[in-house]
Structure 1
Amino acid sequence: MKTFTTLCVCVLMLAGVALAGAIDGKWVSERKMSRNGNEMTIIQTFDLKSDGGKLTGSVAMKMGDREPRSSEIKDGKIDGNKFSFTVTTTTQNGEMKTTYEGTVDGDTLKGTAAREGGEGRPFEAKKQ
């Protein structure tokens, strides 16, 4: 019985590592936004890498015709299929911190992105 229990624990631990590894790679999110009567497309590219329970990488955002801006992931965590991390972006109005939380579901990341002091908005990204 002791051997069976040990084997079950090992299998569950390996399954958690496999799920964490499923987040590795490039993910792209695309959405439309209207500002001052002009519609633009916002493309976010998530470049993610897991190492045990730690999540690292970067998030690049391209708004309309502007050059993309990239920010390094901070405080990244992955636990099974759940992830969270923050990015800090420098804007004309100073630094802006955004927290991302969500889940990995096959080839889709689903979750919320919340700016510091603001409400979260849903996001979805597809694996490339």
Structure 2
Amino acid sequence: MAGAVLALMMALPVQAQDVDVTGKWETTRETPRGTMTTTFTFVQEGSELTGTVGSQRGDSEITNGSIEGNKISFTLVMTMGDRTMEMVYSGTVEGDTITGTMQTPRGEQPWTAKRASGS
């Protein structure tokens, strides 16, 4: 009987471990104007993700955020003068690192964020 239970458990799909991204995360990237640091402040409640993103261009609110297992996704709308730009982020959380892609009007770009120390 124990062998049958073990075989059944091994046949079940493996679920990605749930994660908690609440806190500050940082990413840096090189731009024509120099190095740009962006700070994501995530608030996670279950699978819902909210928060803000702050950079040299100002702060923006995270919308449409969700966490499913270790998969993260959210939308960011930045306003620059009279223009707005929507960016859709998706990625995978592994420990204190998030790696994924960011969809922008200019195409897809990779992004990586690291949990800020003390967060």
**What band does the TM-score fall into relative to the shorter chain?**
0.7 to 0.9
1:25 to 18, 23, 26: 23
User: Does 2:101 correspond to 1:103?
Assistant: no
Q: What are the ranges of 5 or more consecutive residues in structure 1 without an aligned counterpart?
A: 63-67
CA separation in 1, counterparts of 2:59 and 2:111? 18
Q: What letter is aligned with 2:114?
A: K
Deviation at 1:74, TM superposition (A): 0.4
User: Does 2:61 correspond to 1:72?
Assistant: yes
Structure 1 runs (4+) greater than 4 angstroms displaced = none
Calculate the aligned-residue CA RMSD, in Å: 2.1
Q: Matched residues, percent identical?
A: 36
Per mean C-alpha deviation after superposition, the further-off stretch among 104-113 and 92-101 is: 92-101
CA separation in 2, counterparts of 1:70 and 1:103? 23
CA separation in 1, counterparts of 2:34 and 2:82? 21
2:48 to 44, 54, 73: 54
Q: What letter is aligned with 1:70?
A: D
**3-state DSSP of counterpart to 1:114:** strand
1:65 corresponds in structure 2 to none
Deviation at 1:92, TM superposition (A): 2.8
Q: How high is the TM-score relative to the length of structure 2?
A: 0.78
User: Does 2:79 correspond to 1:90?
Assistant: yes
CA separation in 2, counterparts of 1:119 and 1:91? 18
User: Does 2:113 correspond to 1:125?
Assistant: yes
Deviation at 1:93, TM superposition (A): 4.6
Per-residue CA deviation, residues 3-35 of structure 1 (Å, 9 max, x unaligned), is x9xxx8xxx99x53xx2x2x111001011122x
